[in-house]
Amino acid sequence: GFNVFELFHYNVPYEIRLNKALESQMLSPFHYYGVADVTYDGDEGPSDDSELSVLITPERVLHLINVIELYGQAGVPPRGLIFCSRVEEARALSNELNRRPLNGRQMRTVALAADDAVDARDACVEQLEAGELDYILTVDLFNEGVDIPSINQVIMLRQTQSAIVFVQQLGRGLRLAEGKDYVVVIDVIGNYTNNFLIPIALFGDESLNRESLRERLNEAVEAGALPGLSSVSFDEVARERVLNSIARTQLDSLANLKNALVAMQNRVGSTPELWDFFRFESVDPLLLATKKVHYPALVKSLLRVDSGLNDQQSRALHLLSREVMAAKRLHEFVLLGLLLERSSVTTAELVDAFVAQGIASDAVSVKSAVDTFTLDGYPQADVKRHQVGIAVREGDVVRLTPEFRSDYDNSPALRSAVADLLRTGEALVRKRYSLEVPFTPGMQYSRRDSARILGWTRSTASTIYGVKVDVGLGACALFITLNKSDEVSASVAYEDQLLDPSTMTWFSKSNRTLASADVAPIVSNAVAIHVFVKKDDVDGPDHYYLGRATAAGAMETTMPDSSGKPLPVVTMQLKFEEPIKQGLFDYFGVKVLV
3-state secondary structure of 42: coil
3-state secondary structure of 173: coil
Q: For each of the chain's 594 residues, which pLDDT tens digit applies?
A: 667 777 776 777 767 777 778 787 888 999 999 999 998 876 677 888 889 999 999 999 999 999 999 999 988 999 999 999 999 999 999 999 999 999 999 999 999 998 999 999 999 999 999 999 999 999 988 766 677 899 999 999 999 888 888 888 888 888 888 888 899 999 999 989 999 999 999 888 999 999 899 888 888 877 777 777 789 999 988 998 999 899 889 999 999 999 999 999 999 999 999 999 999 999 999 999 999 999 999 999 999 999 999 999 999 999 999 999 999 999 999 999 999 999 999 999 999 999 999 999 999 999 999 999 999 999 999 999 999 999 999 999 999 999 999 999 999 999 999 999 999 999 999 999 999 999 999 999 999 999 999 999 999 998 888 999 999 999 999 999 998 765 545 556 678 999 999 999 999 999 999 999 999 999 999 999 999 999 888 778 899 999 999 999 999 999 888 788 999 999 999 999 999 998 888 888 755 554
Same domain? For 292 and 229 the reply is no
Residue 253: CB atoms within 10 Å: 12
Asked whether the beta carbons of 197 and 204 are under 8 A apart, the reply is: no
Structural domain for 578, as ranges: 444-588
CATH number of the domain where residue 541 is located: 2.30.280
> Do the domain assignments include residue 593?
no
> Do the domain assignments include residue 236?
yes
> What's the DSSP call for residue 433?
S
Asked whether the beta carbons of 376 and 460 are under 8 A apart, the reply is: no
Same domain? For 365 and 271 the reply is yes
Same domain? For 479 and 394 the reply is no
pLDDT of residue 563: 83
pLDDT of residue 389: 96
Q: How long, in residues, is the chain? A: 594
3-state secondary structure of 73: coil
Q: How many domains are contained in the chain? A: 3
CATH number of the domain where residue 79 is located: 3.40.50.300
Q: What is the rounded distance in angstroms from the CA atom of residue 199 to the CA atom of residue 547?
A: 26
Report the chain's terminal Cα–Cα distance, integer Å.
38
Same domain? For 196 and 114 the reply is yes
User: What phi and psi, each to the nearest 5 degrees, are found at residue 117?
Assistant: -60, 145
Same domain? For 222 and 262 the reply is no
> CB under 8 Å to 516, separation ≥6 — which residues?
508, 570
Asked whether the beta carbons of 309 and 410 are under 8 A apart, the reply is: no
Q: What is the rounded distance in angstroms from the CA atom of residue 221 to the CA atom of residue 582?
A: 8
> Do the domain assignments include residue 311?
yes
> What Cα–Cα distance (Å) separates residue 196 from each residue in 162, 204, 217, 453, 537?
10, 12, 10, 32, 19
Same domain? For 263 and 231 the reply is no
Same domain? For 244 and 259 the reply is no
> Do the domain assignments include residue 437?
no
Same domain? For 175 and 138 the reply is yes
Q: What is the rounded distance in angstroms from the CA atom of residue 67 to the CA atom of residue 178?
A: 26
pLDDT of residue 504: 95
Same domain? For 62 and 81 the reply is yes
> Do the domain assignments include residue 494?
yes
> Do the domain assignments include residue 181?
yes
Q: What is the rounded distance in angstroms from the CA atom of residue 131 to the CA atom of residue 24?
A: 29
Q: How far is CA 4 from the centre of its chain?
A: 30
User: What phi and psi, each to the nearest 5 degrees, are found at residue 81?
Assistant: -115, 135
Strands 397-400 and 467-470: unpaired
Asked whether the beta carbons of 135 and 78 are under 8 A apart, the reply is: yes
> Do the domain assignments include residue 439?
no
Q: What is the rounded distance in angstroms from the CA atom of residue 392 to the CA atom of residue 400?
A: 6
The residue from 194, 225, 248 where one domain ends is: 248
The residue from 389, 408, 432 where one domain ends is: 432
Q: What is the rounded distance in angstroms from the CA atom of residue 157 to the CA atom of residue 83?
A: 6
pLDDT of residue 485: 64
Q: What is the rounded distance in angstroms from the CA atom of residue 374 to the CA atom of residue 205?
A: 36
Asked whether the beta carbons of 569 and 507 are under 8 A apart, the reply is: yes
3-state secondary structure of 523: helix
pLDDT of residue 49: 84
DSSP string, 303-335: H-------HHHHHHHHHIIIIITT-SSSHHHHH
Same domain? For 213 and 231 the reply is yes
pLDDT of residue 594: 46
Q: What is the rounded distance in angstroms from the CA atom of residue 250 to the CA atom of residue 210?
A: 8
Same domain? For 475 and 416 the reply is no
Same domain? For 215 and 307 the reply is no
Q: Which of 222, 300, 307 is nearest to 257 (CA)?
A: 300
> CB under 8 Å to 73, separation ≥6 — which residues?
152, 153, 181, 182, 184
3-state secondary structure of 376: coil
> What Cα–Cα distance (Å) separates residue 356 from each residue in 350, 351, 352, 360?
10, 9, 6, 10
The residue from 401, 432, 463 where one domain ends is: 432
Total-model pTM: 0.88
> Do the domain assignments include residue 438?
no
> What Cα–Cα distance (Å) separates residue 460 from each residue in 144, 361, 399, 470?
56, 22, 25, 12
